[in-house]
Structure formats: C-alpha cells, structure tokens
C-alpha cells in the first residue's frame, strides 16, 4: 500500500488520492480554525463493505430502490472530508478548508456546531466488527498530515461529540492503538 502525500495542497486537497467532490459542504465561518478530528464509521448497506453506497450518499446519488435502507436515508445531505476503505484506500470528498456536513448536532468542550471547526474522517466499518490494520495506518497518516497544517487539539469519535445520538466509531475501535501511531502528543 503506497503512502500518502506529505501535505495538503493550497485548496485543502491531498494529492495522489481519489477526489470525488461532494456538494454537501460550504465555507467555514470566517476566522474559524480546524482544531478537531472526528472519527466516524459507516457502511452502506449497513454491515456490508466494498460497495459504492457511501460515495453515492455523499454525492446525493443514492438510489432509494437499490436497498430498503437506502429508501430511509437517500434524502440526507451529508459528507465527510475523507473516507478510509477496509483496505486503506482513501477517498476525499471535501477540501479540508471547507466545512463538510459530518457531525450534525454536536458539541465539544462547550462549543456547538463541530462541523465549523473539525475535519470528519469516515472509516468503512460498523459497531459490530473490528477495523483493519490498514485503516489505522491511513487514519494515523491523515491525522499526522492534517496536524502539520491545522492547530489540532484532539481526535474524538462521533459518539464523543453527539452522545446518545451516535455510537461510532463503535466499541471495536482501538483508541490506544491509534494514539500509539500518532506523532507527537495529539491524544484523544
């Protein structure tokens, strides 16, 4: 598995990975800095890996007739900055300098609207299964790259910023393993 580029370009894109633009983003509030990484987990259909459901959801092209679950979610307008597949392949949907719509109703350290000051990274996964080693390597790579550009203060799970509403990345996510892979002192 080849490594990721060492830095983001001027537009907030990571060179050398697939970029599939999502319309589900907008400008961050003026003067707002990225300070938070939010780790998510997603699989579409739920519990199934390798399909194009996530890409279709994030680009508003999910066919509600393709799967019964899609009929419930096809009208959602959501995105994330990055999606890390089970094999470690990374897809970017939103430039990092823009606000992706990944956190929803959320709060971190007394601040609401976490989308304003965070980067969302989706891992292909679910609450019921562990994540793959390749995903942890790519996630750590991404966080380390992002830390060179932004004054990151923490990496948290979606469940941490939306408790009671969200459970991802779930009980199988290995936070100690991620912390051990990160450079410096960017602890959860």
**Residues marked as catalytic:** 122
Q: By the 8 A CB rule, do 101 and 78 touch?
A: yes
Percentages helix, strand, coil for the chain, rounded to the nearest 5?
A: 20, 20, 60
Q: Are strands 18-19 and 107-108 parallel, antiparallel or unpaired?
A: unpaired
Instruction: Work out the burial of residue 138: count CB atoms within 10 Å of its CB; fewer than 13 is exposed, 13-18 middle, 19 or more buried.
Output: buried
Q: How far apart are CA 146 and CA 139, in angstroms?
A: 11
């Amino acid at each position: 598995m080849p490594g990721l580029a060492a830095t983001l370009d001027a537009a907030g894109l990571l060179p050398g990975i697939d970029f599939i633009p999502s319309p589900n983003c907008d400008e961050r509030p003026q003067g707002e800095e990225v300070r938070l990484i939010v780790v998510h987990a997603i699989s579409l259909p739920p519990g199934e890996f390798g399909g194009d459901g996530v890409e279709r959801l994030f680009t508003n092209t999910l066919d509600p007739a393709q799967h019964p679950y899609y009929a419930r979610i096809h009208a959602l307008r959501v995105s994330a900055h990055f999606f890390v597949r089970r094999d470690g392949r990374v897809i970017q949907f939103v430039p990092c300098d823009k606000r992706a719509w990944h956190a929803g109703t959320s709060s971190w350290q007394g601040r609401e609207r976490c989308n304003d000051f965070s980067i969302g990274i989706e891992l292909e996964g679910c609450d019921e299964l562990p994540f793959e080693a390749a995903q942890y390597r790519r996630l750590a790579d991404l966080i380390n790259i992002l830390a060179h550009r932004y004054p990151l203060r923490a990496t948290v799970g979606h469940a941490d910023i939306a408790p009671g509403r969200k459970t991802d990345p779930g009980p199988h996510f290995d936070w100690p393993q991620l912390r051990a892979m990160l450079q410096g002192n960017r602890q959860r």
